[in-house]
Chains A and B, each alone.
Chain A
């Protein structure tokens, strides 16, 4: 079976997911959902890496995805630690309530 699919379609799909995540980061106010949208954007970037690794026949893209997954795990752990610290201080997860630097 040799059904071809255009590589550009996979890349456009990754771009769509990335921009859906970007809309979430810009529009939502719940900081946990903002973090989840960042994970969505990271996944879209991973998909771009993997499809380029397949298009160009080079495994470096998949090795980069391995490192990105590690960094994403560390980032979400530290981010959720920050969310817990914020919730202790402000009793809220709303991004609008983070105004400690306002005079």
Chain B
């Protein structure tokens, strides 16, 4: 892929460092703020991969809406006490989790580097997207023609989500 290695490794390094901080930081507030940094790095990588609409959506929806919701709930519940709660889980669980995930990453890497090299044969090459009028236009044309049924179904899903939230929060007890 013709993307700038300097920027890719920069943003990937920042994303890995801050996602480790999300998992292992003491206070939920600082882990929420480092999650915002991770989302911005992901948006930058999406932009490097020529997915401009998704990069904008990532910043608007994830770093904007979802993280505001998270920080709002943390502050509402007053749950930002600094507790190292992963010290409470047993050593066996921690070791097996880290070991399992290490094996998972190595397995993924082995499979990816030993599988045949993929060749782009799809209909949307970069030149064709440029000819149609850009990434956003190409995606929206797909969204309202080929994928129109899932698009309408997501609106039903959002409606169910809104009603579910109201019902959950309005009830007096669980």
Interface residues of B (CB under 8 A from A): 1-5, 8, 12, 15-16, 19-20, 22-23, 28, 31-32, 35, 38-39, 42, 45-46, 49-51, 53-54, 57-58, 61-62, 65-66, 69-70, 73-74, 76-77, 79, 83, 85-86, 88-89, 93-94, 97-98, 101-102, 104-105, 108-109, 112-113, 118, 120-126, 129, 135, 138-139, 142-143, 147, 150-151, 154, 157-158, 160-162, 164-165, 168-169, 171, 173-174
Contact = CB atoms under 8 A, between A and B. Distances in A.
Nearest to B46: A50
A3 B16 contact: no
Interface of A: 1-13, 15-17, 19-24, 26-30, 32-33, 35-37, 39-40, 43, 46-47, 50-60, 62-63, 65-67, 69-78, 80-89, 93-94, 96, 100
Main secondary structure of the interface of B (DSSP, over half): helix
Given A12-B112, A24-B22, A47-B42, A5 B70 contact: no
A41 to B, nearest CB: 10
B118 A56 contact: yes
23 contacts: A4-B2, A7-B1, A12-B109, A17-B15, A23-B97, A28-B85, A32-B73, A36-B22, A36-B31, A43-B38, A43-B62, A50-B49, A54-B1, A56-B122, A57-B121, A62-B53, A62-B139, A65-B51, A67-B154, A69-B61, A72-B66, A87-B77, A89-B174
A29 B97 CA distance: 14
Contact of A2 (B2, B94, B161, B164): B2
Nearest to B125: A57
B23 A47 contact: no
A20 B5 CA distance: 23
Contacts of A50: 46, 49, 51, 54
Contacts of B126: 57
Contact of B86 (A1, A6, A29): A29
